Chain A
Amino acid sequence: MTTAADKAKAPPIDVPRDGPDLTGPKLEKMLDKTWASPPGFIGWLSSVDHKDIGRRYIVTALVFLALAGLLAAAMRLQLSRPGNNFISPARYNEIFTMHGTTMMFLFAVPVMQGVQIFLTPLMIGTRATAFPRLNAFSYWTYLAGGCLLWVAFLLNIGPDIGWFSYPPLSGPQYGIGKRADIWAQMVTFTEIAALAAAVSLVATILKQRAPGMTLARMPLFVWATLVTSLMVIFSMPSVALASSMLLSDRLVGTQFYNPAENGDALLWQHLFWFFGHPEVYIIFLPATGFISEIVATFSRRSIVHYPIVVLSLVGTGILAFGLWVHHMFATGLPRVGYSFFTAASIAVSVPTGLQIFCWIATLWEGRPRMQVPLLYVVGFIFTFVIGGLSGVMIAAVPLDLQLHDTYFIVAHFHYVLIGGAVFPLLGAITYWYPKFTGRMMSEGLGKVSFWMIFLGFQLAFFPMHIAGLYGMPRRVYTYPAGMGLELPNLLSSIGSAVVALSVLLFVINMVKSALAGDRADSNPWDAPSLEWAAASPPPRYNFAHIPVVDSRTPLWDAGETISVVHGLRVDDRELLLTSVMSAEPDVREPSAEPSPWPLIAALALTVMFVGSIFSPWAVLFGAIPVSIALIAWFWPKSPTPHPEPTIA
C-alpha cells in the first residue's frame, strides 16, 4: 500500500493540463465541464460559483433596498405635512426600525460583500474563492436572516425598537413580545453570513493572487476588500456578542443590561457601537474601491499616489475602531473621553480627504470621459464632502449635544451613506454590468436616472439639516404646525419621491439592459484590471490560463498578448496558491465541488436560531442537525480517494 509519505513525494500524475498543447476552444470545453454546476433546481441550489453567489447577494440586497425604500417613502408621506395621521405612532416605530435595520444589515453590508465576492477572484486572476461552500453558506444564512425579519414584520411582530435596539427599551422589561428577539436573532444571522464571507475573501486575497501580483500591485478595490473584510472580522463579533447577551437577558434572565442587578444598559451601547461605527466604514471603504477603479478607467491613467490611497484605506480601517464613543456623547463621559473621541472623529476625515485629493488629481491629470459611472463619482465627491463636513461639525461635543437625535443627524448620515456608498454602488453596477450579465446598461437612461437621483437626493436630505437645526427630533411620527418645519419636510418628501422614481428608472434600465442591452466584449471600457481579461460574463472557470502580472495596470500594458502560467489540472477543479507578499506560485490545491450541504446547514442553523427565540433548549438540540450538516459538508465524497500525489 502506498503510504502518505510516498504519496507526498511522488511525481505529478499524467492528467490533462492547460498549456501550449491544450489551449483555445478544446481547453475551454473541458474546463466548462469540470467547473459546471450540476443541472436542474438542486444543482442551482448547490452552486458554489462565486459569480452565482455574488449575483444572488446583489439581487437579494437590492430587493431589500426596494423594500426599505418603500418604508422610507411611507415615512416621508406621513411627514409631508404636520399632524398627519396616515401612519399610527406604533406602526411608525416599526417602520423606521425596519427601514434602518434592513438598510444597514440586509442591504448595505451584504450588497458590498456581494460585489466583493463576485469581483475579487476575477480581479486577482483566480478561478474560485478560497472557501466556495462557505460562501454559499454565507448567502443562505443571510437570506434566512432577511426572511426572518420581513416575515415577522408581515405577521405584525416586527421589531419596533430602532435599528440600534437600545436596552432597556429592547430589554425584558419594556420590549414585550418577541419583536426585540427577532431583531437580535436577525443580527446573529447576518453577522455569521458576513463573517463567513469575510474569512473567505481574506484567504482568497492573500493566497490566490495571480503570479506577480504583489501586494503593491493589487487593484485598489481588492485592497478595500481586504481592509473591510478584516474590519468585519474584528468588529462583527461585538454585535453578535451584544445581541446574544440581549437574547439571554430576555430569555433566561441574565442581567447584563439590567442596572437593578448592577448590569448596565450602556454596556450595550459600547458593544453595539464598537461594531456600529466600523460598520459605517465597512460600507464606505468598498465604495472608495469602486471609485478608485472607475476613476482610473475613465481618466485613462493609474491612480495618482497609489501608496497614499492604500495607506488611507488601512488608516481609516484602524481609526474606525477608535471612534465608537462619539455615538454616545449624550450619555455623559469623562472630559478626557470627550476630548479623545472628538479628536479621533476629526482625525478620521484626514485619510478620507487624502483619498479624495488623489481621485481629483487623477481626474485632473487624465483625460476624463464623462460616462455614467464617472458621473456617479462626481456626484459622490460633491455629496460626500457635504456629509463629511457635517460629520466634522458634530464631532464637536457641544454641537453634538445640541443636535443629538435630531434631523440634522439624519441628514448627516444619509449624506455619507447614500452619497458615500449608494452613489458609488450605482456607478459600480453600471461599470461592472457587462461582467455581471454580458450586456451594457443604457447610457441615456443611466444619465437621466443619475441626474434625478443626484438632484432628488439633495432636495430630500438637505432640508433635513434645517429641520434638525430647528429642533425636529428623529423617530417621532409627526410634528406640530407653526414651528417652521412644514417647508423643509414638504421639500424632503418631494425629494424622496424623485429619488424613488430615479431608483425605479435605474432598475428598469437594469432589467431592460439584461434582456436587450448591447452585447459587451471582454473589455468594453478599456479598463486596466484583470477582470476585464475574462469574457463578459466570465465562464465558470474565469480564466482558461492563470495570468501573470507585472504592473498595476496589466491590461493596459498587455498589448495583444497576456503572459500566463500553465500546468493546472483540467479534469479536476484546481487552484494556484501563491505566496502572501510576493505572489510566487507555491501550491496547487483542489477547489470544492458544488454541494447542497451548505444550504442544508443554513436551514438547520435557521431552525436552531428561530427555535432559540422561544426556548434556550433549542440551542442544545438544534446544534445536533447543524453538526450533522456540517460533518456531511466536510466529509470527502469520493468513494476511493484519488487525488494526485505530488512532490513535497
Chain B
Amino acid sequence: MSLRPSFTRDISALPTHGFSIRSLTWWGVIGYMVIEGAAFALTIAAYFFLMSHEQHWAPQPWEPPNPIAGTLFTAVMLLSEIPNTMAKKAAEAYDVPKVRMLLPWLVGIGLLLLVVRGFEFNSLNVLWYDNAYGSILWALLLLHTLHIGTDWVDTIVLWLLMRTPHGEEPRRLVDTSENSLYWRFVWLSWIPIYLLIYWVPRMFR
C-alpha cells in the first residue's frame, strides 16, 4: 500500500467462527437454497402451464398417483425435523458428543427416505414418456430426490468428519448447524411438491 497506514482498531480478539448470518457458510447455503428454490418454483410453474392444456388432471385414462408411499415419506420427513433440530441446537451449544450421537440417526432417516422414495416412483401410475403430465410428475419427484440424495451423502461425510478430531473445531459445528438448515429447506420444499404430485391430480380429475 503506497498510502501510509494509520492504525485504528485491533481486531485480533474477534472470534474465528460465528453461526447463522455471521458465517460465510450460511450465506453459501442460503445462496444454493435460493437457486434450488427458484428451480422448484419454475418447475411448479411449468406444472401449472402444462395443466392448463388438459381437460382433466390427471388426464384420462391415467389414474392419479397412489398416495400411500408419498404420505409415509411426508410423515417421516416431517418427523425428521425433531432430530434435525436437536442436532442443530447441539451444534450451536458446542455439544460434540450429542452431535456425534445424532448424526448417524439423520443418516439412517435419509436412507429410509430414499427407500420409500423408490416406492413413490412406483406409485405414480404414469411413466415419464406417456405424456407431458407424466413428464412433469417425474421431473418434480426426480428433482426432489436429487436433493434428498445430495443431503444424504453430505450428512454421511459430515458424520465421518465429526468422528475425527476435526469434529472438535467450532467451525465444524457451524457446518453441522448449516447442514441442518439445508435439511429444513429439503423438507419444506417437499410440501408443495407432495400436494402437486398426489393431491392436485385427485382434485381436478
Contact = CB atoms under 8 A, between A and B. Distances in A.
Interface of A: 1-5, 7-8, 11-12, 17, 19-20, 23, 130-131, 134, 195, 198-200, 202-203, 206-207, 211, 233-234, 236-238, 240-241, 245, 248, 252-256, 258, 261-264, 267, 270-271, 274, 521-523, 533-535, 543-546, 548, 555, 558, 560-568, 576-577, 580, 585-590, 627, 631, 634-636, 640-641, 643-648
29 contacts: A4-B168, A4-B170, A8-B15, A203-B31, A233-B35, A237-B36, A254-B128, A254-B129, A255-B132, A261-B132, A262-B54, A262-B59, A521-B2, A523-B2, A533-B3, A534-B1, A543-B1, A561-B3, A562-B5, A577-B24, A580-B21, A586-B14, A587-B22, A589-B16, A641-B166, A641-B168, A643-B171, A646-B170, A648-B170
A562 B21 CA distance: 29
B46 A565 contact: no
Contact of A587 (B15, B54, B167, B168): B15
A577 B171 CA distance: 14
A646 B15 contact: yes
A238 B3 CA distance: 47
Contacts of B11: 546, 565-568, 576, 585, 588
A130 B28 contact: yes
A17 B16 CA distance: 14
A411 to B, nearest CB: 32
| Most A CB within 10 A of own CB, among B6, B12, B38 | B12
Q: Which 10 pairs between the two chains have the least Cβ-Cβ distance? A: A567-B12, A199-B31, A263-B132, A253-B129, A5-B94, A254-B135, A203-B27, A237-B39, A562-B3, A261-B131
A588 B39 contact: no
Contacts of A11: 13
A335 to B, nearest CB: 18
A565 B9 contact: yes
A207 B96 CA distance: 27
A1 B16 CA distance: 20
B18 interface: yes
Given A254-B135, A641-B165, A641-B168, A561 B5 contact: yes
Contacts of B3: 533, 555, 558, 560-562
Nearest to A569: B12
B10 A199 contact: no
Nearest to B59: A262
B1 A544 contact: yes
B53 interface: yes
Contacts of B46: 241, 245, 256, 267, 271
B196 interface: no
Contact of A233 (B23, B34, B138, B153): B34
B135 A207 contact: no
A561 B4 CA distance: 4
B131 A255 contact: yes
A131 B24 contact: yes
B138 A254 contact: yes
Contacts of A648: 15, 170
A12 B12 CA distance: 7
A645 B49 CA distance: 54
B5 A4 contact: no
B28 A131 contact: yes
Contact of A8 (B6, B94, B129): B94
A238 B42 contact: yes
Contacts of A262: 50, 53-54, 59, 131-133
A5 B90 CA distance: 11
A285 B138 CA distance: 37
Contacts of A211: 9
B18 A533 contact: no
Nearest to B18: A587
B139 interface: yes
Interface residues of B, number: 65
Contacts of B5: 23, 544-545, 561-564, 566
B124 interface: no
A261 B10 CA distance: 67
Contact of A199 (B28, B59, B128, B171): B28
Contact of A203 (B6, B24, B129, B169): B24
A271 B10 contact: no
A636 B28 contact: no
A3 B8 CA distance: 34
Contact of B16 (A240, A558, A646): A646
Contacts of A5: 93-95
Contacts of A563: 5-6, 8
B173 A4 contact: yes
Contacts of B31: 198-199, 202-203, 233
Contacts of B14: 567, 576, 585-588, 646
Contacts of B6: 561-564
Nearest to B129: A253
A211 B7 CA distance: 13
B136 interface: yes
| Most A CB within 10 A of own CB, among B39, B42, B96, B134 | B42
B87 to A, nearest CB: 14
B66 interface: no
B205 interface: no
A207 B14 CA distance: 15
A563 B9 CA distance: 9
A245 B167 CA distance: 41
A567 B39 CA distance: 42
Given A131-B24, A233-B35, A253 B128 contact: yes
A203 B25 CA distance: 9
Given A587-B14, A646-B17, 16 more contacts: A4-B94, A134-B28, A233-B34, A237-B42, A241-B42, A253-B129, A255-B129, A255-B131, A261-B130, A262-B50, A262-B132, A264-B132, A534-B1, A563-B8, A566-B10, A576-B14
Nearest to A257: B132
Contacts of B4: 560-562
